[in-house]
Structure 1
């Protein structure tokens, strides 16, 4: 009986070791060496890991590398795949060498994916920013983003740095349960459209303890974003943390369940913002937005709902937005504003905002409390918060 028991124990123990193994795929074995181009090496390593029997780790050691656009696609046979990079990887500066790819590094249709390490992914944006013509041309061609994470489940991005993307740094689409932890995103303050993390049609996105400094929104939520948590983020420079813009297209999906808390926003154009287009067909709802414990440092527009969002005057503000905004809370917002109007609530004349709460909003401009400008909104005030003054702006003032 003892012999059988011992044999059974050895069998179970060996089974645990086997199922817990992680096979390492060093890109050096696929020809990916420092100071060289690792495009094909990474593609080959991914194919081997994706079709492998055990969970896989693709390893990129310290050093400088060049890499063209890559598409790393599942579904995979391996239960999980990790890319662990300690290297500095540079994209082509010439946009022609990106072959029109929407993202430089695309990871799609994978469960249990991890991107980790202390590596830097340099999009070499300054070489391409002059090609961005979106401020003059509504039909402009979008430049390549650094990362695209699409249709991933139960995945983690941690510790890496995204530098100088040509467009958005990270685009999240169709993902479920994806976490960003302790990452760094950086681009020049004047770089166009370099949003840090853009989320669309995803459920359960968590962004924690992350530093973002860009030329556009640090974090932006597109349509279909549900159950999103932003916590411990440092944002600035840039345009702040934004919901939207939405309402421009007819078949958008509702945005529901955002919590932004314990964040610091410094020297940005906006702080926390909801923005929708006027004069457009979108009729979705934006509900359950909660902003709490946020420190503003010299932010031009710390708290803002703007349902007349119309960059470069590409729309008609006289026609109200059809997007419905409700159940929005701004709580324990403190710090300094770069303008006297530290709170701006410009809602739609067609569908006024419902159940907007201001609780302990303590913002100052040159030592004095800021004022609030409101249109088509009657916020519920608790504690200290600026009282609303009537705004006179386009459709919202009608």
Structure 2
């Protein structure tokens, strides 16, 4: 942010705003109409300088700068998220690039009646440096759109869905980069919503407050039960801000057939879905209590996911943290995930996936799959997990496939993973069956090839620390173990199990593997 930006004061309100061409004050209705009709005035540019208009008011000398003249409002430039910016923020000076924005103090709640104390408004309605935009020397600047200006209440009770829909429509229509602000300290109740692209320019959704879902699953009657917050067809989108997305999933879990088998099995929403998005960044967000999966990425390209905090109770069903489907060039780093299902799951035609710096547990670990369900063809390849801590999880690093499927899982590496009291630390299961009834034996299978486990250390909650249960028809090939040390969390020994598993090892591997065995089952034990 250039330090040369200054906010100037004009008294009285009718004083001249600029010595140049007067700015055009665009009313909210006119502004929206122009964007809807794509008839913004020619030469529209992002805005850089500001004048704060103060009608007559009482200002007590406490916690506020007493203004005497102009150019003395820099101490007020602090926190965007606690301010409410007027619709008349949308002002331009068509003759210059350094345009002027009017900020009438009345729009911050000041009464201006000479009786009411308006001090607090000057103290709390502060203006962010970010509001001055990022680069006043170029045209590549950001327009900020505050959800409260589109009617959002942020009280956690009123339905704010329409306001979010309207602000997205405007932001997506802008030719300049836009940032939607969901301010800190507010809770916004939002029903199922679509954020559709393509958009004309880069767009940021800055969630600093809380977005909460309706608690009642019946709200989804007649709607797609898989969706709550649904982004699709958007390029160059960033979702960030340090705030919270709360799926309010408790009633969904109570109705799940996995919790109570007398319940009918039904779909539940993913808290945030990104479908067919490109050049996507999702960072510094907390996602809690999702109805089902927390964040799902389907058919996306070039995704950067970082610094997420994802939490749900250990017994909440199907609450995967990060779910990657049919996506390419994905980086996931520095995330903490504690859920009732997989911390990270990678399935169905995904490749070039990089995962590092993950803290996982409780949950079901880091999984490739399941693949091949309902006799489908799936492939996952070129995946590297490098650097993770798993504690008290039901599985560690896992590949799971259904009988009857086809396709392949290949060139997958799990490296530098620490396990603490983890059941099934290393597991390949080609007989996966997530069903209330036994699955039928089938000869077809997803082939598994070139899978490496390097630097996997820690403690196993189960005696069997390594399990390779591979298909009779399609054995696992070119498995590789190096520097694996999995001691018992309690007890005397850990074991490895192999079925139709072919591979090699290097360095110290404990428990020792059982590759290339001709017998039906082979188990090797060794005392710790």
Q: TM-score, normalised by structure 2?
A: 0.69
CA 275–321 in structure 1, closer or farther in 2 if over 3 Å, else same: farther
- 1:245-273 per-residue CA deviation (whole Å, 9 max, x = no partner) reads 01114453411111011100000000000
By how many angstroms is 1:171 displaced?
1.0
Q: Distance in 1 between matches of 2:263 and 2:503?
A: 35
Match of 2:362 in 1: 237
Match of 2:139 among 6, 19, 28: 19
CA contact (8 A) 1:277 1:321 kept: no
Match of 1:84 in 2: 206
CA 48–55 in structure 1, closer or farther in 2 if over 3 Å, else same: same
Q: Distance in 2 between matches of 1:255 and 1:17?
A: 46
Q: Which runs of 5 or more residues in structure 1 are unaligned? A: 1-12
Match of 2:339 among 211, 214, 223: 214
Q: Distance in 2 between matches of 1:363 and 1:348?
A: 25
Match of 2:277 in 1: 152
Q: Please list, as runs of the form range in 1=range in 2, the aligned pairs for 1:298-309 lying within 5 A after superposition.
A: 298-309=421-432
- 1:65-93 per-residue CA deviation (whole Å, 9 max, x = no partner) reads 2111110001112x211100111121011
Q: Distance in 2 between matches of 1:286 and 1:134?
A: 28
Match of 1:10 in 2: none
Deviates more, 1:307-316 or 1:197-206: 307-316
Q: Which runs of 5 or more residues in structure 2 are unaligned? A: 1-96, 99-134, 523-528
How large is the RMSD of aligned CA atoms in angstroms? 2.3
Which has the higher relative contact order, 1 or 2, with Cα contacts under 8 A spaced 6 or more apart? 1
Task: Verify: 1:39 aligned to 2:39, yes or no.
Answer: no
Q: Distance in 1 between matches of 2:464 and 2:478?
A: 21
CA 360–263 in structure 1, closer or farther in 2 if over 3 Å, else same: same
Q: Distance in 2 between matches of 1:285 and 1:137?
A: 36
Match of 2:249 in 1: 125
- 1:140-186 per-residue CA deviation (whole Å, 9 max, x = no partner) reads 32111101000111110000111000101111101000111101100
CA contact (8 A) 2:256 2:263 kept: no
By how many angstroms is 1:364 displaced?
0.5
Task: Verify: 1:172 aligned to 2:297, yes or no.
Answer: yes
Match of 1:93 in 2: 215
By how many angstroms is 1:312 displaced?
3.0
Q: Distance in 2 between matches of 1:82 and 1:23?
A: 10
By how many angstroms is 1:33 displaced?
2.3
Q: Distance in 2 between matches of 1:258 and 1:43?
A: 36
Task: Verify: 1:353 aligned to 2:481, yes or no.
Answer: no
* Partner secondary structure for residue 388 of structure 1: coil
CA 86–273 in structure 1, closer or farther in 2 if over 3 Å, else same: same
Task: Give 1 or 2 for the bigger CA radius of gyration.
Answer: 2
Match of 1:183 in 2: 308
Number of aligned residues? 380
Q: Distance in 1 between matches of 2:407 and 2:448?
A: 9
Match of 1:7 in 2: none
Q: TM-score, normalised by structure 1?
A: 0.90
Match of 1:5 in 2: none
